Amino acid sequence: MEKDLRYPIGPFEQPDMVSEEDRIRYIATLTAFPGQVSSLVVGLDNDQLARTYRPGGWSVRQLVHHVADSHTNSFIRFKLTLTEDTPTIKPYFEDRWAEQVDYTLPVDVSLGILEGIHIRWVALLENLFSEDWAKAYIHPEYNKAYRLDVALALYDWHCRHHLAHMQQALIDP
């Protein structure tokens, strides 16, 4: 059976229940992620940053800019959920964002965003009350409510998913 290059760690599997131990592990992933990405991409040349993890897939450069955008959006979704009553979030077209001119900028720009967002996001997450994890937002694209604990599980996966994409692109050029 051929490996699906789109999902090097497998597709996201939504947990039915998220324990306190799970949350601690997920937050540790978010804490480590900016440093892991930086360690992987700082010092790469333009040819290396242009490598893709699969034919038709995003380049390493696009992946770095994407995770900065995606995690900024997720941080805002968490803040909206904590300050509003089951807000409906605004989805966005990730593929169209990846075509914008800012995705051609040096990766250092998005590494700074990623570091700052993760510091703020982790500080927020580490100080939630147990009842906050059950708060939810509505994702209109799926017409579904997402609890914050499940959203945290998704972003734990998202970090590991795209880190694996970058590693894949750099190992298998």
- Section 58-71 average pLDDT: 98
Q: Does 7 reside within a domain?
A: no
Q: Does 126 reside within a domain?
A: yes
Query: pTM here?
Result: 0.96
Q: Does 9 reside within a domain?
A: no
Inform me whether the pLDDT recorded for 1 exceeds 60. Answer: no
Q: Does 82 reside within a domain?
A: yes
Are residues 150 and 18 in contact, defined by beta-carbon separation less than 8 angstroms?
yes
- Section 142-165 average pLDDT: 97
Are residues 122 and 23 in contact, defined by beta-carbon separation less than 8 angstroms?
no
What CA–CA distances, in Å, run from 80 to 76, 86, 129? 6, 8, 16
Q: Does 1 reside within a domain?
A: no
CATH number at residue 148: 1.20.120.450
Are residues 7 and 137 in contact, defined by beta-carbon separation less than 8 angstroms?
no
Q: Does 122 reside within a domain?
A: yes
Q: How many CA atoms lie within 13 A of 17 on its CB side?
A: 3
Inform me whether the pLDDT recorded for 173 exceeds 90. Answer: no
Q: What mean pLDDT is reported for the chain?
A: 96
> Per residue in 115-146, pLDDT tens?
999 999 999 999 999 999 999 999 999 999 99
> Per residue in 41-51, pLDDT tens?
999 999 999 99
Range of the domain at 79: 20-171
d(CA 115, CA 31): 9
d(CA 13, CA 154): 8
- As for how many domains the chain has, the answer is 1
> Per residue in 97-118, pLDDT tens?
999 999 999 999 999 999 999 9
- Residue 165: Cβ-neighbour burial (10 angstroms; 0-12, 13-18, 19+): buried
d(CA 24, CA 12): 18
